[in-house]
Amino acid sequence: MIQLKRIIQLKSEGVNKLKISQSLCLHRRTLDEYLKKLELSGKSFNELLALSESELRYLVYSSHNTNKPDERLKELEKQFDYFTVELRRVGVTLKTLWKEYNAVNLDGYGYSQFCEHYARYKKRGGATMHFDHLAGENLQVDFAGSPLHYIDKTTGELIACPVLVCTLPYSGYTYVEALRSARQEDMFAALSRCLEYFGGVPRNIISDNMKQYVKKNDRYEFTFQALADQWAVYYNTNLVAARPRKPKDKPSVENHVYVSYLNIHASLRNEEHFGLNPLNVRILDQLQEMNRHRFQKLPGSRIERFMQNEKATLKPLPPETFTIKHITLAKVQMNYHVFLGEDKHYYSVPHKYIGKQTKIIYDEHTVEIYIGFDRIAVFQRDYRRNGYTTLPEHMPEKHLKYTETLGWDEDYFLSLAGKIGINSKEAFKRILASKDFVEQTYKACLGLKRLSEIYGTDRFESACSRALRGSHITYGLIKNILQKNLDKQSQVEPDLFTIPQHENLRGEQAYN
């Protein structure tokens, strides 16, 4: 009303419409509408200024003096829900819908006004709601869009790791971990470690429609993966899935994914890590710093709010961590190995089981191989693709002998001799030094090794002691001592040879 009175005052002073519009920052069309309504009242400017605000308001905004609502808008608004559904279909745009609307409504809105009214409708429907989270009620889970990386030591390859982010929305207390992969096995193992990090179990676990979590979904009902159900039963918690394409059903974790980018991804962007474990150690360092960081608009920090108000509301953890066990069948191949298809890795079994059908039971860390109820081999799980894990005791004797030759070197033979005795090690050392090329002595060293196995380490040590009394030592010499039992004879130290005194000996005075 103040602006309207100012228009009347300026108009009564003879100011033109352009200057009034510029002075009051008022659009010319709006000014024209006001002046038209004042003119229709039939009153002079002085009479209008004498009116009260309520009388002036009635004069300008009463139904008899105001344009009636455009009936076209009511008809258009009835179709907004239909437009929203159609826009989800491939290739449908607002331009397409406007053409169809304009073909039926010849006096309808132009394209720009059509888009403007629909945008206002969408804005009204996009209002957000504030949630008051309860302590210990929910854990929200999501994968970050950007992975982290580590370097494979053997190949130098840069390995991308999906990053799991878990947040308790009441306190904002967060857990972040880089995973080997986004498979169920790695994800639920990480969730178990997350609960151990929190020291308890919330009542609900909320995630989006990731395939590791949800088997089938529609708007009102979800079917979870069997492994997800097993995990939830083990930890006595409930699984909840966000609605399809509704990330705001879990806004806290969506926000903390961004927070993890600022505090973890950014801090590690120029670092090199040679393995998944070193990478997660650095993530944990940054994560603890992030959880200790003080809030800007609230008192305390995430960890303080969690420890003071939320930790006591969590349900207790089970005594042992949930272990995912997988079972698969495999036939023992001619190379006495079985193939674990998930990792594309080979594990050995005793060679006598070649051709037998085995059952492989494995989890994140261990691989067990069974025939019937008998466990014939157990290994630490190896994730190298197309690699082999072989135990020497599983190999045939010929294969074992061959692999032994692959490890021959000077240190190997000296280490072997050192386990027998000091004299044996010295004998091996002299033989290894007897040739220009040390490789030429390996066969003699193998022969000595075999003699120690045939005659026993005590006799072999004694034979080496006797052989060392000579100036030159060979495999044949030690073999001869053992065959003739010379090592069993007592060894008498010979008298030291001394030159007798006689007249032909000259002393130092002869050289003066």
Average pLDDT over residues 88-100: 82
- Using one digit for the tens of pLDDT, what is the confidence trace for 147-171? 888 888 777 888 888 888 888 887 8
pTM value > 0.85: no
Last residue of a domain, one of 65, 81, 116: 65
Torsion of CA 105, 110, 112, 114, to 10 degrees: -20
Residue 357 in this model has a pLDDT that exceeds 90: yes
Residues 207 and 256 in one domain: yes
Residues 202 and 288 in one domain: yes
| Residue 303, in any domain of the structure | yes
Residues 217 and 356 in one domain: no
| pLDDT for the residue numbered 255 | 61
Residues 369 and 439 in one domain: no
Of the listed ranges 26-40, 194-208, 399-413, the least confidently predicted one is: 399-413
Q: How far apart are CA 233 and CA 216, in angstroms?
A: 19
| Residue 510, in any domain of the structure | no
Last residue of a domain, one of 31, 47, 65: 65
The β-bridge relationship of strands 204-207 and 163-167 is: unpaired
| Residue 377, in any domain of the structure | yes
Residues 174 and 301 in one domain: yes
Domain with 300, as residue range(s), is: 138-313
Residues 115 and 169 in one domain: no
Residues 260 and 144 in one domain: yes
- Using one digit for the tens of pLDDT, what is the confidence trace for 289-337? 888 888 776 777 888 888 888 888 888 888 888 877 788 899 998 888 9
| Residue 148, in any domain of the structure | yes
Residues 88 and 209 in one domain: no
Edge to edge, the sheet with strand 337-340 lists: 337-340, 345-348, 388-389
| Residue 280, in any domain of the structure | yes
Average pLDDT over residues 252-272: 68
| pLDDT for the residue numbered 331 | 92
Q: How far apart are the first and last CA of the chain?
A: 138
Last residue of a domain, one of 38, 65, 92: 65
| Residue 500, in any domain of the structure | no
Cα–Cα distances (Å) from 22 to 15, 18, 86, 108, in that order, read 11, 6, 44, 33
List b or e across 449-486, with b for residues whose CB sees 16 or more CB atoms inside 10 angstroms.
bebbeebeeebbbbbbbbbbeeeebbbebbbebbeeee
The domain tally of the chain equals 5
Q: What is the mean pLDDT of the chain?
A: 79
| Residue 495, in any domain of the structure | no
Residues 57 and 160 in one domain: no
378-381 contacts at long range (C-beta below 8 A, 24 or more positions apart): 379/347, 381/343
Q: How far apart are CA 21 and CA 365, in angstroms?
A: 78
Residues 224 and 342 in one domain: no
Residues 78 and 154 in one domain: no
Cα–Cα distances (Å) from 488 to 301, 461, 465, 481, in that order, read 81, 11, 11, 9
- Using one digit for the tens of pLDDT, what is the confidence trace for 374-433? 899 999 998 888 888 888 888 887 766 655 655 567 788 888 888 888 889 898 888 888
Of the listed ranges 99-103, 232-236, 343-347, 465-469, the least confidently predicted one is: 232-236
| Residue 249, in any domain of the structure | yes
Residues 235 and 205 in one domain: yes
Q: Which one-letter DSSP state was computed for residue 242?
A: P
Of the listed ranges 215-224, 238-247, 379-388, the least confidently predicted one is: 215-224
